[in-house]
Structure 1
Amino acid sequence: MAKYFDVHPDNPQKRLVGQVVQLVRDGGLIAYPTDSCFALGCQLGNLDGLGRIREIRHLDDRHHFTLVCADFGQLGRFVHIGNAVFRSIKAATPGSYTFILPATKDVPRRLMNPKKKTVGVRIPEHTVAQALLAELGEPLLSSTLLLPDEEEPLTQGWEIKERLDHQIDAVVDSADCGTEPTTVVDFSSGEPEVIRVGAGDPARFE
């Protein structure tokens, strides 16, 4: 049964944030809010968590997982990013964008696109997500909480707990979450290609 954490959207309770992060460190899979919508998240090396995300969302090995990072210090460790691309991404972050970039050797191969050796990264503009990332000290391996055969992501914490109670370990609810997935921009060729239009304005990359 999933634990339910009611976290203040503007002033996240440090005690609750600490409990959620400890659960993640212990191998847990959580549903947590971002500026785009709820995401499923676990630690980078959590094979069980990765498998559960694939199972919940019915994902194949071509799916781009996202490393949700606190800042560019974290992001730069996991992707190769040139100066021009850095400036372009910097101007749009934090925000509701996911960027696909060539992965560094610090990214486990199982998280990369098998052909392109790329991975998704993002820096969210959400107080609770940032509090979790700051406490964890590393990115959260994440995927949008969009269930198979459904067009809209789940946006209510109580509904997520009700529907995924025995598949995840915790729901972090802050009653303040976006309702639309991120805009995805592929920079793997060095030039931006918008491959999904979502919450972030795609105009700056078109």
Structure 2
Amino acid sequence: MKPIYRCRVCGAFTEEPWHCDKPAALFMTGEQRVRLSKLMSAILRHIPHEAGLELGPGGWIEVEELARAIRERWRRRDLYQWVTRQHVIAVALLDPKGRFQLSSDNRRIRAAYGHSVKLELGYEPLSENELPEVLYHGTVMERLNSIIHEGLKPMRRLMVHLAARPQEAIEAARRHGSRVVLLRIDPRCLAEMGVPVYRASHVMYLAPHVPPECIKSVEKVSSGTAPAMSDA
């Protein structure tokens, strides 16, 4: 990830070293940003108890409380003594995948998706007019046969994750193996089958499951070559 800078004029966080026609101050290195982003995701999605935290309704928690827990109670807190509420806010605001949501006053934060802890996020199902034309899900070849027959299930997460763009789906799948396949999902098919679709961020959508009938095509993805597509 890029470093985060803070504008010396307006105070905005930015990935660019210049803002308001003046050099911006380095606020967080790229290494610090990656480390803090991964930890925030882990705590807000999966292991709040390991930082001595309890998520509120909808998965929300005070930003200051999260920053303090990371500094004072996280098991590797020695690596995070520099973290303040402003660092948490900066990571959340500039996250390229919309992993985090902040309240309008920047006092509370939650993970937008990816939870394994059980909670109600409070998203409203999209209407048919709000549905995108296509969504994507990445997986590995070893799981494809069961998916084609049984559809997509949340497994250890609360929801199935569907990406708005192929690259996000492929990146997620590559964490599980090298033989990646890209599934094209028909959101209108989901609606017709009574499966709600929720928008979690500008690049990520959620559904409780995806029936096999709504998987419209499968692409084999290999580095350096174009995907080979087949109908599901």
Tell me, yes or no, whether TM beats 0.5: no
Structure-2-length-normalised TM-score: 0.24
- Say which structure, 1 or 2, has more relative contact order (CA 8 Å, 6+ apart): 1
Structure-1-length-normalised TM-score: 0.26
Query: Which structure's CA Rg is the greater one?
Result: 2
